[in-house]
Every structure is written in structure tokens, then in C-alpha cells.
Amino acid sequence: MDEKIVSMKNIVKEFSGVRVLDNVDFNIYKGKIMALVGENGAGKSTLMKILTGVYLKTSGDIYLEGKEVNFTTTKESQDMGVAIIHQELNLVQDLSISENIFLGREPVGKSGKIKWKQLYDESKQWLDKLGLNESPKELVKNLSVGKQQLIEIAKALSLNAKVIIMDEPTGALTISETEKLFEVVNELRSQGHSIVYISHRLNEIFQICDYVTVLRDGTLVGEKTIDELDEDKIIEMMVGRKLSEQYPRVNTILGHTVLEVKNLSNKFVKDISFELKEGEILGVAGLVGAGRTEMARSIYGVYPLDKGEILMKGKPVVIKSPKDAIKEGIAYVSEDRKSNGIVLGLNIVENVTLASLDQYVGKIGKINKSEEEKSTDSYVKSMSIKAAGTKQLLKFLSGGNQQKVALAKNLNTNPKILILDEPTRGVDVGAKKEIYELINKYKESGMSILMISSEIPEILGISDRVMVMHEGMVTGTLDIKNADQEKIMSLAVGKEVS
Amino acid sequence: MKKLSLKGRDWKSILSQNKPVIVLLILIVAMSIMNDRFLTWSNALTVLRQTSINAVIATGLTFAILIGGIDLSVGSVLAICGAVSAKMVASGMNIFLVILLTLMLGLGMGMVNGLFISKGRLQPFIATLGTMTLLRGFTLVYTQGKPISIFGSETSAVYSKIGTGYFLGIPIPVYIMLFVFVIAYYILRHMKIGRYTYALGSNEEATMYSGIKTDNVKIFVYGISGFLSALAGIIVTSRLGSAQPTAGSGYELDAIAAVVIGGTSMAGGIGTIFGTAIGALIIGILNNALNLLQVSSYYQGVAKGIVILIAVLLDRKQRTSR
Amino acid sequence: MKKLSLKGRDWKSILSQNKPVIVLLILIVAMSIMNDRFLTWSNALTVLRQTSINAVIATGLTFAILIGGIDLSVGSVLAICGAVSAKMVASGMNIFLVILLTLMLGLGMGMVNGLFISKGRLQPFIATLGTMTLLRGFTLVYTQGKPISIFGSETSAVYSKIGTGYFLGIPIPVYIMLFVFVIAYYILRHMKIGRYTYALGSNEEATMYSGIKTDNVKIFVYGISGFLSALAGIIVTSRLGSAQPTAGSGYELDAIAAVVIGGTSMAGGIGTIFGTAIGALIIGILNNALNLLQVSSYYQGVAKGIVILIAVLLDRKQRTSR
Amino acid sequence: NGDEGDNGDNGDGNGEDTAKKIGLVVSTLNNPFFVDLRDGAQAKATELGAELIILDSQDDAATELSNVEDLITQGVDLIMINPTDSDAVGSAVAAANGAGIPVVTLDRSANSGEVEAHIASDNVAGGKMAGDFIVAQLGGTGKVVELEGIPGASAARERGEGFNSALEGTEIEVVAKQTANFDRAEGLSVMENILQAQAEIDAVFAHNDEMALGALEAIKASGREILVVGFDATEDAVTSVQAGEMAATVQQLPKEIGGMGVDTAMKILAGESVDEYIPVELQLVTE
Ligand SMILES: Nc1ncnc2c1ncn2[C@@H]1O[C@H](COP(=O)(O)OP(=O)(O)OP(=O)(O)O)[C@@H](O)[C@H]1O
Ligand SMILES: Nc1ncnc2c1ncn2[C@@H]1O[C@H](COP(=O)(O)OP(=O)(O)OP(=O)(O)O)[C@@H](O)[C@H]1O
Ligand SMILES: [Mg+2]
Ligand SMILES: [Mg+2]
């Protein structure tokens, strides 16, 4: 047995009376990587936030290197050598990369002046290590989400902590950055650092982890070494039952062309052309910064076009705002749900109907609330959205459930074309499958789907065709029959494939 | 299940709103003990009538604050609308036309604020600070610095009833205030635009992504604020029988205090008209109480500051999780 | 690569700051054409001296606004500190002690604001609205509504030099203003607490997760604002030779206008002291210009409102992406 | 915060039911002039054994009306109003009339409603007095600056009106007319600016002493010789006149107005008849 560096015992956490962690034990071993897995809302993030002093535990004990600790602030845990990369990005947009990496730990001279040179030099080292080619003086707000995620990682690594917790660090990363990260993580392990690794991508777990702890509904299911497990076993532990085929493909007969995009260009993308047929899923792959999100948002009317046209059923349409897009039957599920997918301050019903409120307005402009409730209930059931009720505010839902609500909101506009941008980011395996099944259901009913994803297995698993982008341009489109990971990757880095 | 969770939320919302109510009750009980004239029917009516002006303005400001904005120009809009309406009344124009035109003027000025903030992408504080200064200047130019009397025409008598009249023993401004509360409640609670107001205040980008023209929502919201300021301007002018060029100066602060004491968050997205009504009543009763208790005017500022701080301290939100 | 992007960044920041500078230059050129007395050395000194008070307050407010807060109490802090210092001077207390105690008083009051906002979790607008009302009341109680003269002791003459004196032909308040600018620039740009000020305004949660005691940053920031308001209070009192109970009323609006015209975002995280200096100069020159051009007092509000709106319209930010 | 001064709180004489309750609604207590008015009234009330309830309208007509309503609620025997504005006070007077409470106005009159007595010194006359003084001092020719009060405030209007009427037909030119909002700090900076603009200034008339004292600082700093005339004769101003700095200030005897108000009120309550208009003399305070 390896030496425990952290051990959490009988941890209980309640949020205003609701128990979200129930007598959970959790260990971290010296120089090892502990995977922490579980469905959305299982309590993984909460457990780690308790360890790092973000939340106060309701009861239970925490030991660090044999000594009982009770952190009440992040600073305390940092000082004791425990660092965390939070699931949600926690960067200061208006500060530079290096200021973010060293926020709170800036080297200062005698006069109290920050030693800028040292700051930049040290930051640069971390950026190089993670393969990020950016100036340390660049403002974080000018970086894409993926690069920001790397900054977040650099920040935690630079703490040189004994224990590093990574809460879904690869959520916004594609394969190449993930590989780079794993190199660093392996190096850290060999130096004796201990790591907690939270991810919904089970293949990653098998790539780097030594141990696995599984949580379900706030309780501990078990702790195993990696050799005792395989993917199916983990899934079974997580969801409490066996799960059949992860990527349930359905083959539909493709209908007419619904959407045609011709030579779309603006400051983000160049010359994008593709078509989408009724009942088709077109997967869009690419590396971080390939411009996939921008392409989708340009179609959705968020970014103005410089050139090009969009045709729906052969007729050119003018889309200048999301409102126009929705009117034309295009819906967009954002990759960044917190900032533009959902409204955290509204409840589930209000979010689900936000984009389709016109349907519910009766005479004298009154919203028909029971109708709203009815629609929402049907989504809650069909998507198994876990919540205390339909009146629960979105900010109290776990990430995966928030994602489902975002999806429901868009489906409720009855779109002909559904654009999904990283639809399963941060979603657990069980829910993922539910989402795929939903996508398939709508596909079967004739909806056309454009699915942007950084998870190649997912792209390969459910799309009919794969379009690959690189630096704002389409570098190739592959039929699913002759698509594989290698071909996608070479197109993604801009290489031709035959 | 459905019923249960509904109750759950209502209970919560009652809990989150009841702190201002508690402050209000404490004020009322304390005053009733300290002064036997306080809890009389006629004083109650006096307080309500005095509260009406601030309450009407605060209702408009609730919309602006709910979207995370602010409207500092309410006092200036009140002044210019009051002045214009006084001139129209004095000229003998039809009373309904006077009211209609005045309210439209306020609506228009509010919408200009909304345009500056939405299309012009100005920060609400500075945009409305600009129009506040500008419109105060306009009022002075328009009135030439002199009060405009409403008297001198047949319309005057009717007009002056708006602020001074009674119906079934209750002052007309009180009816106006209640009517404004009910309509505002209905809009916020049961209409699309109300829902959008909350959505915008909570997450502007997501609201835009949901196909909502956020610019229009903003223009609407500031339009309402201007409209209600004009209405308050009519009440003030009618009560005083003349429009003062300096009317309404500083009213924005009392109105903001009412809104915030009522539990609305300046960050937007959270708040209710019920809360604002309570907040306005707290401020109204406080002013009345300080007078009845004969607190020296120098100490009134001290007392008012303390009550504002206590009220908001009691109602402070959990550390926001944004 | 490193050099290049550095240039890129500086160029951007210059671009984003130069719009207020353009407004300033236009104002100066226009005034020089319209009035030949404007561009004289003595008028320049007059403008700078007049600007100094608003500039000192605006510098403090820049900190508050950078963290996404606001401080409405500056005018009231100015008044009470001015009154207290006047009384101390008149009593013949040592000049250094007077200044020290006054500044500490301002610092303390600012820190109380900071405490309300951090530990008390109050919204800055309402918290400082409360203390603004409260401290104005205190000032009236303290002064009994009457001005307090600084004369009558030996200290008086020295004290009055702070506001009225010259050194090498340049008024002392101008030196104070420049000194305040330089220190504030240094703090914001090169010291930890300055970077935390930006960090807090840009993302409070991330700042907290980075192990920074955000509460302390807030207390510091509001402390600075109070401290500088007290300094402004000393300058005003010294210039007038007496402390007015109503001193500083409405100063918060001019100071906020200066900060925002200078390009600082009310949402926090973005802004510079350089911008605030330009903003304060724009307001100062505007007031001077309106007097020199003998604009009627009725039209002054109109003119000021228009300039504020134009200045911020020119400098409006790209639609924020949050 | 030790010294409370002589008056501090009111509410003395609470116990005696027989004591007359008189309400005093003052336009603002942030201005020394009205503070003096209040002090005069308070002193007189104490002397005559009346209870005086003082409320501050903070220069807002609507607040004034609320104050009067609150006094009615308290059942005062008489209300003395120092109006914020002669027109706007009409409703307040009407409210008092409606409740059967007699009204006395101080310093500013009411343009409507039933008022038992009006005690004031005429602002227009005061302005004229200042104007006449300047005309005399300058020998009927020269350049003057007028510092105006809060735009739209009645005192500013009336004093300006009187002042300008005095200049009519003389060779005196008003070279600058700017507002300094009755504020001393603004008086200083506005005067500084005017000094920059005008090479030749012989006299300044400020609508109140606060602005005059501010202007005086600016003039002293500029080293120029300019006649400064203020209005109100506040303590600071009188000191300044005595020191030979300010040339003159129009004294309205605010304490007198307040005291006379209470005097008149007591007479009315005793059933005695009083004059409708009781002028309080103005005088020019010069060295
Ligand atoms: N601040 C909070 N207030 C109330 N409930 C909360 C809060 N934070 C989390 N929860 C609840 O606690 C439970 C566990 O949430 P947590 O974020 O730990 O899940 P998770 O395992 O990290 O899920 P995911 O994989 O989606 O990130 C959820 O039901 C969530 O709704
Ligand atoms: N606000 C911005 N201003 C300027 N350029 C931007 C901005 N946001 C993104 N970009 C640039 O646009 C390009 C595409 O961005 P983005 O990384 O979002 O694409 P993506 O293919 O959707 O990748 P991801 O996997 O991160 O979603 C990148 O070159 C990025 O640097
Ligand atoms: Mg989580
Ligand atoms: Mg993307």
C-alpha cells in the first residue's frame, strides 16, 4: 500500500439542509494519481472544495501528512501545499497571463514594487512547459477558452504544491494539449507530487491514474487501484448498473439539404462552405482555436459576416442576430453555458422557455405558466434532469444538469437545425449517453445537427460526416465510413489527407 | 412534487423578502409607542400620500436596477415634465391631453436614456448622470428659473385634484401609487418583457443568445423609468400647484434607497415590486417619524443614514457566487 | 516575439486611453480660439488649482470604481474632515498633528465603508449612500450648521498656505495633486495591492481563490478613498479659510464623471490614473470655460451634460463580452 | 463631538399641556442665515414659554408640504413657514388652512392661501440696497460682477432683480453674471475664473455672503482691488466687513425675523390682531 498524504474521513456536507456528501472517505497517495469519478452532481467538486478550504465541511476529519487540518480559506490550503484547478475557469480576465499565474504570490522587492522581470521569466517557463506559445504579458481576455484552461493549469503547477487537484482540467482541451498536460502530470508524479484527477473522460483515467475513487449521489462507492478496473466496471460503479454501447449510432435516411453555408468569411473564419441534410449529424472537429465556435456563432448571428451566404432549404436567409436565427429554425447550444448558455439567476422553467416565450403568451400578454410548467416537466422527465423541482434556480444545479437545461431551452424553440458546441463538456457518462440518445431521437425526427466537439470518440461515435477545421478554415470533410482519429488529427493540424 | 417545490420557493421568497417587512414592522411598532399621533387614520393617509411620489419613482427605478442598470435622471425628468405640464395646464389645454403628453415626454426621455445605454453602449450611471445634468439645465432654460403656476385656466382645478383630491376618503395619489404597483407587479411577474428584465439583469449574454433583443429590453426599461418619473412630476406639480425648476433634485437617492432596502440587488436580476413598496414605505414612515418625534434636522440625516444601513445590513445577501 | 506583443499591448492601451485625451485637446483648442484669456499661464494655473480638489477625490474613487464599487460618501467625508481640521487649527494645534489626524480620520471613515462592504456584505452604492447621509448629518451636528473659521491661532497662517500658497510660482494644491497621481499610479501599477485592485474588480471569485483576502483589499481601497477625501477636505478648508457644513455636497458626481470620462469602467477591472487625471482636467477646464465664456447659469447644466455625454460616447467600450 | 451649542435639540416644555405648540418649517438649515432665523425663533419661544417644533424642508417644496402635513398631524396650534418658494408653498398653506391652523410666513411670502401675517425683509429691496451702495461707491460708472445663487431659487431671483434695478440708468456694466450656487467654494472658483476673463472689475455683488466670502478669497489671491458686497450679514461676513475686507453686506436680521415670528404667533394665538405685513428692516452693514 502506498503512503497516504491526504486522508478525508466521514466527510459530510450540507447546503441549506440538503446533504450532498454523506460520510465520504477519500485518500490521496504520495507520488500517485488518484482519479475521482462519478456522475454529475455526485459531489466531486464539493469534496475537493472542502479539502481546499473553499467550502466548510459540515462534519468529518481531514488529515494532511498525518496531521489534522481544517482549512477555511484557499490561502491556508495553498500555504500547506495543496493546490486546486477549479472546474470552472477562475482567471482574472483583465490581468496578464503572468499576473494570473502568480496572483497573490507576486515576487516583490524591498520597496514593495513587483519584480516584473522575475514574474515574466518564471511564467514563461511554465508556458513553455505546457507548450503554450503566448507572451506572458498578454491579457487573459484575449485568449481562447482552451488557452485559458492551460493558464489555469500553469497557475496550479507553479505553486509547486505537494498535492494538486485537477477538476476536469481537460474539459476545454483537445488531444494535443491533453497529451502535453499528461507529460507534465507524469513528470510531477515522478517528482513525488500527488495528484487528484477528476474527469468524465474515462480513457484519460486509464492513461494516467493509479487509483480510482468513485462517488455516487454523495456517497462513496469504492476506492480501487487502476488494475482492478476497466471502463465498464467504472461505469457500473458510477451509475449503479451496466451501461450498454456508449455511442448509440442510429442510421437514418438523409433527406433534402436543409442548410447550405457558402463562403462564410469574417474576422474569425475564412471561406467556410458546407451543407447539412435533414436527419444528418455533421461533426465538426479541430484543435483549440480552430475557429469552430466562431463559425457556429457567425451562423447564429452573433458575429457579423463580411462575406458569404446562408441558405435554408435553398432560399438565402439574412441572419443578423440570434433572434433571426431562431426565427429561421436554427438553435445554438453554447460551449460556455455559464456565460451565454443559461441564466443562473432564473429557475429551470424560466430557462427552458426563455428562447421560446412567444409560445406561451396569451391574450393581454400574460404568460401561461401552467403551459410553461408542462413543457418543462416533459424535458425534466425525458432528460432526467436532477433538481429539487422545476422552480430551482440554475445556479444550484450541477454542471451536467445545467447543460441539459441549456439543451432543453434550445430544443423548445423547435429548431430545424441544432448547433451543438461541445454538448457533453463536463457531462458524466450516463448523462452523456442520455444526451446522445436525445440527439438521435431528434435526428430521427428529421432534425439536422451540427455537432462541434473536441472529443474525437464522440465525433466518430455519432456523426454521419466529419468536417475538420484548422485556423478558421475547413481543411476537409470525411464520410464517417472512412474517418478515423488519425485522419481527423492530421486535418486538424492543417495537413492534407487523401 | 410540483406543488411541494412551488411552496418551497414561495417560502424562500417570503423569507428573503420578510427582512424589509420586519424593519417596517419594527418602525411602525416603535413609532406607535413613542408617539400616539402616529397610528391614526389621518397620519396613515398622510404617510401614504407622502410616500406616493417616491414610490412611483422607485417602481421605475426597480426596473432599471433589475437589469443591473441605474437611472440618476429621474429627478430631472420629473422637473422638466412637471414644468411642461404646468405650462400646458396654465394654457388651458385639455386635461387628458396634458397628462398624455407629459407621460409621453417622460417615456421619450427615458427611452433616450435607454438608447444611450443600449445602442450607444454607455454605462448607465454615467449616461443618466449626463442626462440628469442636461435635463436640469433644460428645465432652467425652459422655466427661466422661475416656478410655473398651474393656475389661471379651467383645467387647473381638475389638474390640481390629481395631487390633492380624495376619493372615498383616500387621497388620489395613493390610488395612483397602488395602481402603479399592481401594473408593475403584473409586468414583472406575468409578462414576457418582465421575464426578460430579470434574464437581462442576471445574464445579458445568455439573454441575447436566447434570441432576445436586449437593446429593446433596455429601451423599454428606461422608458418605464422615464414614464413613471413624469407621472411623479404630475403628482408633485399638482400637489404644489406649481412646477419648481429645482423640483426633484436628489430624489434619485431616496428612490434608490427604497429599491435597495426592499431587497433588490444593484447587480441586477434579483428583486421584487413588493420589496420596493416596502422600501418606499420604510423611507416614508421614517421621514414622517423623524418629524413627529421632533428630531432636529441635523440629526435626521444621522438617523436616516443609520436606518438605511441597518435595513440593508439585515437584508444583506449571502456572499454572491458570481 | 515578447517585445512585439509588448508593443502591441502598449499601443492598444494608448489607443484606448487617447479618446479622453482627444476630448481634452479639442476642448483646449476650441477654448483658445473662443477666448484669448484662456491660454494664459495664469489661467492654466487657475484651472489646475481648481481641478486639484476634484482630482484628488477622483483618484480615490478610481480605486473604488476599479474594484467594481463606488464611494458616494466622499463629499460628506470631505465636509466632516474639513470641519474637524478647522476646529483643530483654530484651537492652535500643531499643524502636522492637524494634518495627520484629519487624514487618519478620513482613512478611518473610508475603512468603515470598506468594512460595511466587505464584512457586512453591503452593496457599495447603498452602503456609501448610508454613510454619506450619516456623515452629512454628523457634520451638521458638529458645526451646528455654521461655517467654522480656521483663523484665530498661530497655526492658521501655515494651514492656509496649503490651499493658497505657491512654491516656485506654482500653487501648492497642484503639487499635492501631482504627488497623489504619482503615488496612486505607482500603487496601482507596481504594487501587489494595486494589482489585487484590478484583479478584484475583474473577477472577485478568482481573486479569492488565489488566496487573496479580498476583504482586506476592499477595506484598503475604501480607506484610500476616505483618506484622499480628507486630503481634499484640507485643501478646500485651507483655500476658503473656513469649513462649510455643506462643503463637498455633490462632489461625488463630478469625481465619478472624471473617473468615467477618463475611461475607467464602472464594472471594475479596467482603468488608469492617467485617464482619471485627464477626466478631471476635462471637467476642470469645462467649468473654467463656462465661466470665461459667460455661459448663463441656466445653460451651464445643458453644456456640461452634453460634454459628459460626448466624452463618454467617444470612449464607449466595445460591447463587453461577459 | 462635544459642544452642542445653545440650542441643540428642542422639545423642551414637553410636559406642560398648556404650552402653545408652534411649528416652524424652515426652507433649509444648511445655510447660516436660516440657522440664525431658527435661533431667533427658538430664543423667543423659550422666552415666551412656547413649544417650538422645527422642521427642515431641505430646499424642496414637496418636503415642505410633507413637513406641514406632519405638523398638522401633531396638532400644532400655529405654523410658521419660511417657504422654499412663494408659489409652491400655496398647497402647504392650503393644507394648514384646511386643518384650521393659522399660518405665518417668514422671509418669503406665500402667493396663495390664507396667511395671518407675513414677516420679512424684502429680498428685492435688499438687492436694490446693495446695488445702490455699489452705484454710490463707484460713482455711477464701472464694471461689476454678479454671483448668482442656485439657479431657480427665489432668493437668487429676487436679489438679482433688486440689484439690477438699482443699476438701471447708470453707467455701470455687469460684465459677468455667473452662478456659484450659494456655495463658498464655488464662489471662490467661479470668481477665479471670472478674474481670468475680466481685466477690469470694480465690484462684485454676490447673492449671499457665502459666495461673497469665496469670491473675496479669489480676489485676495489675485491681488486686485475689488469691492465685494454680500447679502445676509452672517457672522463671518460681518467679521470680514469689520476687518475691511468685504465692503458691505445686506443685513436682514434673520434672528429678528424668527423672534418676531414667534412674537406674532403668540399674539395671534392670544386672539390679538396683528398686521398682515410686518417688515423687518434691512440694513447695510459697512465698515
Ligand atoms: N453552493 C451550492 N449550494 C447548493 N447546492 C450546491 C452548491 N454547490 C453544489 N451543490 C450541489 O451539490 C451537489 C454536488 O455538486 P458538485 O458540484 O460537487 O458535483 P460534481 O460531482 O462536481 O458534478 P459535475 O461532474 O457536474 O461537476 C449537486 O447536487 C449540486 O447541486
Ligand atoms: N475575443 C477574441 N478576440 C480576438 N480573437 C479571438 C477572440 N476569441 C477567440 N479569438 C480567436 O479566434 C480563434 C478561434 O477561437 P476558439 O479557440 O474559440 O475556437 P474553437 O475552434 O471553437 O476552439 P475551442 O475548442 O476552444 O472551442 C482563435 O484564433 C482565437 O484566438
Ligand atoms: Mg464538478
Ligand atoms: Mg469552441
Residue B198 touches partner A, C-beta closer than 8 Å: yes
Q: How far apart are CA C190 and CA C195, in angstroms?
A: 8
What's the grid cell of residue D75?
Answer: 396638532
Residues 51-80 of C with CB under 8 A from B: 70
Whole-number pLDDT of residue C74: 97
Mean pLDDT calculated for residue range D159-179 = 92
Percentage of residues in chain D having pLDDT higher than 70: 94
Percentage of residues in chain C having pLDDT higher than 70: 93
Whole-number pLDDT of residue B10: 55
- Does residue B223 carry a pLDDT above 50? yes
Q: How far apart are CA A377 and CA C94, in angstroms?
A: 75
**Does A214 contact ligand 1 (Cβ within 6 A)?**
no
**Nearest chain A residue to B204, by CA:** A340
Ligand lying nearest the CA atom of residue A167: 3
CA-to-CA dists, residue D72 to B37, B43, B292, D100, D241, angstroms: 10, 9, 10, 9, 43
Residue B203 touches partner A, C-beta closer than 8 Å: yes
Mean pLDDT calculated for residue range D34-41 = 91
Q: Determine contact, residues A403/A426, Cβ cutoff 8 Å.
A: yes
Chain D partners within 8 Å of B44 (Cβ): none
Residue D16 binned pLDDT confidence (cut-offs 50, 70, 90): very low
- Does residue B95 carry a pLDDT above 90? yes
Centroid of ligand 1 to alpha carbon of D88 (angstroms): 60
The identity of residue B111, as a single letter, is M
User: How confident is the model over B105-129, as pLDDT tens digits?
Assistant: 999 999 999 999 999 999 999 999 9
Q: Determine contact, residues A134/A147, Cβ cutoff 8 Å.
A: yes
Q: How far apart are CA C223 and CA C110, in angstroms?
A: 4
- Does residue B149 carry a pLDDT above 90? no
Centroid of ligand 1 to alpha carbon of A200 (angstroms): 15
Q: How many CB atoms lie within 10 A of CB A109?
A: 10
Q: How far apart are CA B246 and CA D179, in angstroms?
A: 14
Interface test with chain D among C159, C240, C253, by most D beta carbons within 10 Å: C240
Residue B291 touches partner D, C-beta closer than 8 Å: yes
Whole-number pLDDT of residue D8: 36
Residue A498 binned pLDDT confidence (cut-offs 50, 70, 90): low
User: Strands A194-198, A163-167: parallel, antiparallel or unpaired by DSSP?
Assistant: parallel
Angle at C147 between CA D209 and CA D282, to 5 degrees: 35
Q: Determine contact, residues A451/A284, Cβ cutoff 8 Å.
A: yes
CA dihedral over A71, A77, A82, A83, signed as positive or negative: positive
- Does residue C85 carry a pLDDT above 90? yes
Centroid of ligand 2 to alpha carbon of B121 (angstroms): 24
- Does residue B6 carry a pLDDT above 80? no
User: How confident is the model over A308-345, as pLDDT tens digits?
Assistant: 999 999 999 999 999 999 999 999 999 888 888 999 99
- Does residue B2 carry a pLDDT above 50? no
Distance from CA of C239 to the nearest CA of A (A): 34
Q: Determine contact, residues B75/B132, Cβ cutoff 8 Å.
A: yes
User: How confident is the model over C24-80, as pLDDT tens digits?
Assistant: 988 899 989 988 888 888 889 989 999 999 999 999 999 999 999 999 999 999 999
Interhelix angle D209-222/D32-48, rounded to 10 degrees, is 140
Nearest CB partner across the interface for D157, out of B43, B49, B145 = B145
User: How confident is the model over C217-264, as pLDDT tens digits?
Assistant: 999 999 999 999 999 999 999 988 889 888 998 899 999 999 999 989
Interface touch C211/A105, C-beta < 8 Å:
yes
Query: Which domains, ranges and CATH numbers included, belong to chain A?
Result: 4-239 (3.40.50.300), 257-492 (3.40.50.300)
Residue B148 host element (H or E):
strand B148-149
Subunits in contact with chain B (3 or more CB pairs closer than 8 Å)? A, C, D
Centroid of ligand 1 to alpha carbon of A44 (angstroms): 8
**Does A100 contact ligand 1 (Cβ within 6 A)?**
no
**Does A402 contact ligand 1 (Cβ within 6 A)?**
no
> Residue A142: CB partners within 8 Å, gap ≥ 6?
none
- The residue whose CB lies within 8 Å of the most ligand 1 atoms, and thus the one to mutate among A24, A36, A45, A198, is A45
Whole-number pLDDT of residue A119: 93
CA dihedral over B226, B228, B231, B232, signed as positive or negative: negative
- Does residue D7 carry a pLDDT above 50? no
Q: Do chains D and A touch (3 or more CB pairs under 8 A)?
A: no
Q: Determine contact, residues A235/A216, Cβ cutoff 8 Å.
A: no
Nearest CB partner across the interface for B205, out of A339, A345, A361 = A339
Q: How far apart are CA A37 and CA A395, in angstroms?
A: 22
Which one is predicted more confidently, A171 or A291?
Answer: A291
Q: Determine contact, residues D285/D249, Cβ cutoff 8 Å.
A: yes
Which atom of ligand 1 lies closest to the CA of A399?
Answer: 26
Chain C partners within 8 Å of A141 (Cβ): 321
Interface touch B5/A392, C-beta < 8 Å:
yes
Interface touch B203/A344, C-beta < 8 Å:
yes
Distance from CA of C21 to the nearest CA of D (A): 23
Distance from CA of A17 to the nearest CA of C (A): 23
Q: Which residue has the least CA distance to atom 10 on ligand 2?
A: A144
Nearest CB partner across the interface for C140, out of B205, B301, B309 = B301
Residue A250 host element (H or E):
none
User: How confident is the model over D243-270, as pLDDT tens digits?
Assistant: 999 999 998 888 889 999 999 999 999 9
- Does residue B274 carry a pLDDT above 90? yes
Interface test with chain B among D10, D85, D164, D181, by most B beta carbons within 10 Å: D85
Residue C130 touches partner D, C-beta closer than 8 Å: no
Interface touch B239/D62, C-beta < 8 Å:
yes
Interface test with chain C among B131, B259, B308, by most C beta carbons within 10 Å: B308
User: How confident is the model over C89-128, as pLDDT tens digits?
Assistant: 999 899 999 999 999 999 999 999 999 999 998 999 999 9
- Does residue D5 carry a pLDDT above 50? no
Percentage of residues in chain A having pLDDT higher than 90: 55
Residue C263 touches partner A, C-beta closer than 8 Å: no
- Ligand 2 first shell, C-beta below 6 A: A 142, 144-146, 172, 268, 286, 288-294, 335, 454
**Nearest chain A residue to C188, by CA:** A113
CA nearest B270: which of C86, A344, D236?
A: A344
- Does residue B280 carry a pLDDT above 50? yes
Whole-number pLDDT of residue A230: 87
Which has the minimum average pLDDT: A122-126, A259-263, A381-385, B2-6? B2-6
Interface touch C239/D185, C-beta < 8 Å:
yes
Residue C5 touches partner D, C-beta closer than 8 Å: no
Q: How far apart are CA A173 and CA C228, in angstroms?
A: 47
Interface touch B126/C266, C-beta < 8 Å:
yes
Ligand lying nearest the CA atom of residue B321: 1
Mean pLDDT calculated for residue range A46-53 = 93
> What is the distance of C-alpha A261 from the center of its chain?
27
- Does residue C3 carry a pLDDT above 50? no
Q: How far apart are CA B170 and CA A261, in angstroms?
A: 66
CA-to-CA dists, residue C200 to A104, B67, C193, C260, C270, angstroms: 11, 22, 10, 18, 11
Chain A partners within 8 Å of B207 (Cβ): 343, 354
Whole-number pLDDT of residue D2: 36
Which has the minimum average pLDDT: A108-122, A289-303, C302-316? C302-316
- What totals of helices (H) and strands (E) does chain A contain, helices first? 16, 20
Residue C192 binned pLDDT confidence (cut-offs 50, 70, 90): very high
Q: Determine contact, residues B138/B77, Cβ cutoff 8 Å.
A: no
The length of chain B in residues reads 322
- What totals of helices (H) and strands (E) does chain C contain, helices first? 13, 4
- Does residue C17 carry a pLDDT above 70? no
Q: What is the largest CA-CA distance in chain D?
A: 65
Nearest CB partner across the interface for B305, out of C120, C133, C261 = C133
User: How confident is the model over A76-112, as pLDDT tens digits?
Assistant: 898 899 999 988 788 998 999 999 999 988 999 888 8
What's the grid cell of residue A290?
Answer: 480552430
Mean pLDDT calculated for residue range D158-172 = 93
> What is the distance of C-alpha B98 from the center of its chain?
21
Percentage of residues in chain B having pLDDT higher than 90: 62
Residue C308 touches partner B, C-beta closer than 8 Å: yes
Residue C210 touches partner A, C-beta closer than 8 Å: yes
> Residue D254: CB partners within 8 Å, gap ≥ 6?
D33, D34, D36, D37, D40, D107, D232
Q: Which overall architecture, per CATH, does domain C50-312 show?
A: Orthogonal Bundle (1.10)
Whole-number pLDDT of residue C132: 95
Q: Which residue has the least CA distance to atom 22 on ligand 1?
A: A45
Residue B65 touches partner A, C-beta closer than 8 Å: no
Interface test with chain C among A95, A116, A124, by most C beta carbons within 10 Å: A95
Instruction: Provide the 8-state DSSP code for B120.
Output: S
Q: What residue segments make up the domains of chain B, in order of their start? A: 50-312
Q: How far apart are CA C151 and CA C169, in angstroms?
A: 25
Residue B126 touches partner C, C-beta closer than 8 Å: yes
CA nearest D82: which of C267, C59, B297, C94?
A: B297
